[in-house]
Structure 1
Amino acid sequence: MQINPSINGWIEKFLNQYGTDVSDYTTDESFFLACQKSGLIYGYVVYYHLETELEDSKWDTEEKMKVGFLATLFALYKTKKEADYQLFIEDLFQFYNIVSKGNFSFLNIVLPYSNTYQKLESIINERLQTNDNIVTKNFTHMVTNSMLYIDILAFEYYLNYKTINLDFFKNLERKCLALIMFSLNVKKHKSEYDIMLLKMFENSLRYSKVSKINNNEIIDIVFEGSRSELESLYLYEIAHMTLLSDGVVYESEQAFLTEFTLKLGLNKNNQNTGYELVEFINKYKKNLPFYNLNHPVKQFYTNTQDNIAKLVSRNKTRLLKELSESKELVKLLGKSTQNELSFEEKKKVKKQLLDICKSIPSLTIFLLPGGGLLLPILIKFIPQLLPSAFNENLKD
């Protein structure tokens, strides 16, 4: 039974099919190690905590993140409580229901007549939207999703204490930002990339807007309050990711990490987190948003044909409606399949097509600098993927 994480019902289907195969772990350290291997912490999922193989070759990056996020939450639940996925769904929804009382925006979209599974699908969709910009909402793999792991830590807190509040999220985000700032100050060689890295993390904040933090207070903020072993491991990983942004951890930086490990109360075995991070980066670096700051259009271009085909397919109803209201554009597109358009005609096609892209949020990638270069490929897919009635209009 094929699972499509972009269609309603995927959570129930995934749990019915793979729920018993989701791993549980004997220690927090082994769970965290599996989270590193999964890639969720680094914003690029490659593993789903499953004892069996999962066919995900047709999923895009966001779809893999959705399933990876859900599987990680369930693996944590099985490690901390029990293996019943129906109880897990009830507890997870109750967790987000409590969170919503803090007026968090992501539950406002949940429809009252949806069942629990559908409501959780809406929540997870929104959890992966880490930026208000319409383009990054549709291409979430361009944005750092490392802060998504804060939900895992918050769910752990909820399972332990049966309560959660806004302060938990705010405080942990503040700790992470303070730690990134401190780690950047420790770095031997700073670059423009490091400034961009900080901005990416700031953009991934969901609950708090962090103003300038006094340098003297930075490291104290990191150690405020109590924390679980999973939180300590995550804070270590945040520091290591920041120091490794240029591909090298220098001797002075390693000395800081060693001291930081002791202050967090982590034992020597926990330091294998460093090895896992380096191994994961070496294997998947070209795909990691955390280590890749190329322009979104360049990133999109990497898998251009597939990406544009998906965009046209997912928006074909809206595209057909817009095109039906632009007879001149339809006529020119039809002519382009038979003959070369003049310079003026090409300008008209480009202008009118960009106007349509403005009205369809998912197509705003074509409005970015350089996005116009992708328009010929978009034009190529329009006749192929839209209904036959439209194709007949193209020929007329």
Structure 2
Amino acid sequence: MINPSASGWIDKFFATQKNHLPEYENSHAFYRAIRDSGFIYGHIVSFDNIDQKETKSWTTEEITKVALMDTLYGVYRLISKTSDTAAFINSAIAYYKEAQPEGFALLKKVLPTAPPAHELENILDDRIRTNNNIISRNFSHILTNALMFMDVLAFRQYLLDGDRPQKYLKKLEETVMTIVSLALNSKQDKTQYDDLLIRLFESSVRYTKLSNINTDSLEEAGFDYFESKSEKNYLLDMAAMAIWSDGRAQQSEIEFMYRLNDRLGLREDAPAESIASYDVFIKLNKKHIPFFNYSNPVKHFYDHAAQSVTNLIIRNKNRLIKELSNNGELMLLITHSTHRSLNDKEKKKVKKQLLEICKTVPSLTIFLLPGGSLLLPLLIKFIPQLLPSVLNENLDKEDTA
């Protein structure tokens, strides 16, 4: 089993999946496969090369992290015509340092001797954590992840011409935000969905603000900068996400999609396919996507967090049991909490001592993040159910033949 939250997961991924990598005829076939997986839309529902039994216990962040790495590797294989994992890892690290050098300068100082695979793990982990507030991060991940495909397109361009990707990413983000703005303006009737869409796009961008977009027409958008079908299809799909509103498309929105398609120079049926693809995806997966459960984001957060905490505890039982066994007072208070309410002094003591324990277990540092202390009641709830297990399944020896 692969544990995407423990060091060594990239090495184990390549060791176990090297004989299961999909082959794509061309970049367009690759793009369509990635779109079918949900990565383009920000909610991954499947992998071509990973069994669902493997991913069943993964959190949303873990699935996103593996999908990003897997997709980057797919682009690398298409462009380089090789499957050299070591060369890919080095290329991905170099790309991200070029794409956001200020952000990763600190990472380099903290981990000066980390093996390349471990360094990439830390980079990807940092990349998917775009919101500081833990509730916001779980709530808005679909838009953040939809924009994350820009990393893949920028990596492709980096492999092709070696240019610094910051300029490309800024231009691509500005273009996406322009299209979203124009698509929303094409609507005759705005909905609550549209208001939320704007807020989530604003929270997900790195270089642009939707409020600063001044382009009033497609003719001024500057699409000539992008030449590949993958880039153009991505821009069209972002427009489809923006105009979608519970499966209903107004005539003005459909006309906008076809005008955009003319500017992009794609085939005539591309707009209809783009709209239909997103509509089918949402109808099949809507109940599992946090973005559409905005009526009660706090409830969604706790539903999502409960599963995440369960997974973390299962993976770290041995170390957690060892730390707890060395703290008799904490165990006594937790035992009391199962049949009576603790007073304020006891609650503070439990919180302080649990956070100290979490510092000693890397995977449990989620409890130290802003908002993480809200999860402590869930941790206390699961502690009595702890049973011994292996700490880091990435170190397991498996037959990779």
**Normalised by the size of structure 1, how large is the TM-score?**
0.80
Write the letter of the residue equivalent to 1:109.
Answer: L
State the distance in 1 between where 2:211 and 2:232 align: 24
Q: How many residues align?
A: 376
State the distance in 1 between where 2:208 and 2:161 align: 23
Provide the residue aligned with 1:241 in structure 2.
241
State the distance in 2 between where 1:49 and 1:138 align: 25
1:47 partner SS: coil
1:108 partner SS: helix
Deviates more, 1:139-148 or 1:353-362: 353-362
Contact 1:74–1:88 at 8 Å: present in 2 too?
yes
2:221 partner SS: helix
Write the letter of the residue equivalent to 1:108.
Answer: L
1:43 partner SS: coil
Contact 1:324–1:330 at 8 Å: present in 2 too?
no
Provide the residue aligned with 1:309 in structure 2.
310
State the distance in 1 between where 2:292 and 2:105 align: 31
1:362 and 2:352 matched: no
Write the letter of the residue equivalent to 2:106.
Answer: N
Provide the residue aligned with 1:153 in structure 2.
153
Write the letter of the residue equivalent to 2:80.
Answer: K
Distance 1:180 1:202, change over 3 A: same
Provide the residue aligned with 2:60 in structure 1.
61
State the distance in 2 between where 1:355 and 1:143 align: 35
Gaps of 5+ in 2: 359-364, 389-401
Distance 1:15 1:65, change over 3 A: same
1:199 partner SS: helix
Provide the residue aligned with 1:275 in structure 2.
276
Provide the residue aligned with 2:31 in structure 1.
32
Provide the residue aligned with 1:297 in structure 2.
298
1:167 and 2:167 matched: yes
- Say what the alpha-carbon RMSD is for the aligned residues: 3.6
Provide the residue aligned with 2:15 in structure 1.
16
Distance 1:335 1:74, change over 3 A: closer
Percent of paired sites with the same residue: 33
Contact 1:11–1:121 at 8 Å: present in 2 too?
yes
State the distance in 1 between where 2:187 and 2:233 align: 20
Contact 1:40–1:68 at 8 Å: present in 2 too?
yes
Provide the residue aligned with 1:127 in structure 2.
127
**Cα distance, 1:121 vs structure 2:** 0.8
State the distance in 2 between where 1:212 and 1:141 align: 23
Provide the residue aligned with 1:284 in structure 2.
285
Write the letter of the residue equivalent to 1:105.
Answer: G
Relative contact order: is structure 1 or structure 2 higher (C-alpha 8 Å, sep ≥ 6)?
A: 2
Contact 1:157–1:164 at 8 Å: present in 2 too?
no
**Cα distance, 1:290 vs structure 2:** 4.2
Provide the residue aligned with 1:98 in structure 2.
98
Deviates more, 1:61-70 or 1:13-22: 13-22
Write the letter of the residue equivalent to 1:76.
Answer: V
**Normalised by the size of structure 2, how large is the TM-score?**
0.79
**Cα distance, 1:241 vs structure 2:** 0.3
Deviates more, 1:153-162 or 1:137-146: 137-146
Provide the residue aligned with 1:394 in structure 2.
none
